[in-house]
Structure 1
Amino acid sequence: MNEFYEFDERSYQRKGGFWKYIAVALIFLLLGAIGMYYISPELQEPGSNLAGTNISQEDRTTVEKDVEDDQSSELPSLGAKGDLFISSDNPVVEISEKVGPAIVGITNRSIIKQQEPFFGNIYEEELEGYGSGIIISEDGYIVTNNHVIDNADELVVILKGGKEVQATLVGQDSMTDVAVIKIDEPDLTVAKIGDSDKVRQGELAIAIGNPLGHTLAGTVTVGVISAVNRQITYGSNQFTMIQTDAAINPGNSGGALVNANGEVIGMNTLKSKAEGLGFAIPPMYSCL
């Protein structure tokens, strides 16, 4: 059975009680070292060390179905207007330049409470999740994966060039793993949305997003459409997805899968633990 994971990475930063916890740990370590010195001198040879443990957490994501029903009157027409035909001899370069500014980074900040193991003190820890998003209207609407924005206390969008803008949640649906957020920012580049019914196996596929967080923002990778209409079961939900071998990694969630005409034909969402197997939600299922 294939195993899948969502593209997202999160890091923890403790907000309170940290140094007390460290001080207690150091005291216990010191007492243990003294005891070992007197009890077993022959064990003083170097060779062991303490290593930190990276805490990772799978992202969850969403998009309310009533975004389309209840809020459809508030949403403008989506996608860039006019043709975006790519005529260059090197289309990937031109696509990157034209579509890249419509792909943004998203930071999901949330605060969780933890309990210290020794004295039971409660402290706060900040959890940051990273993902990508696609600008779909000049009014600042952005579509992304639900697991990118789920449980956020604060959402920040990072535009091309590094500018950070506060975002608000418009709607989310965990069943389809789609969410819509909004920013107030002028002169936005809007992605042109393609027709998922016309996607063909073997055609050019270009993935644009932020793998491994914002450090590698705007990364472009190239592959082909490996298959269409793949039925993928993840968790308790089933998705109809586009399969690609374009390299995608944690942080790419919500980013764009683009065709040779510079049209967004999918939203990168899942990756198999096997190499070269990535999956994107087609526009018909992702509010694109």
Structure 2
Amino acid sequence: MPLASAVPVVLTASERHRLKKMAYGHKTPHQARQRATIVLLAARGRPNARIAVQTRLHVDTVRTWRGRFAAGGLPALADRKRSGRPVSFTALQVAEVKALACQLPAETGAPLSRWSCPELAREVVARSIVGSISTSTVRRWLKQDALKPWQHHSWVFITDSGFRIKAARVLDLYARTWDGVPLSEDEYVISADEKTSIQARCRCHPTLAPGQARAMRVNHEYDRGGALAYLAAYDVHRAHVLAAANPGPVSGPS
């Protein structure tokens, strides 16, 4: 059977410029550099077998990326989206594990002063929050969280028997459902909070910037500008913050 001829590749000036930056850029990922090199060599009319030898890649790999570029241009050189492995744990289960991490082990009867990831994984299974979970999964969840309240203990972390019900309602809202009914397009989910008595202070002398082997220097004298109350509402689905600051009474210098 006759061999299929290589797909011809023709580049515009803009495409050639971008491909050269990809192929020779020091910060370009290795795979992107290889793909750009394949296309540049293909644009010179070289056959797939010769390109495979030059790039030390399999000829099927060269044929694939040459064909993708010919069909879709530069965007086709990116990895295609993959469905990935199905989610093993629900958002509610993740929240319950983090809530348990915020509790003292003594509250559960465990003879520990603080939780370790292996002990936390065993406790989660013992409470039937999940059927099974690895220590590395617990460690990854706690590490990825932006706020880590389990690293200290405070009066805020009170055991609530209704936590599961309350958490489920909040997580449903984040998933745009309420009582099992999807929210409509004109319905919003807002997370609002207020920070009161923020002292508005103005330093009487300028702050000296830090330098080599010298810490930043801040003078202790300041003028009181009163107090502010900061109110903010976060649109959780549109990543938009609505905020306002209301001034309080103004007092004299200190």
Whether these two folds match at TM > 0.5 is no
Q: TM-score range by the shorter chain?
A: under 0.3
Q: TM-score, normalised by structure 2?
A: 0.27
Which of the two has greater strand per residue?
Answer: 1
Which of the two has greater helix per residue?
Answer: 2
Q: Which has the higher contact order (CA 8 A, sep 6+)?
A: 1
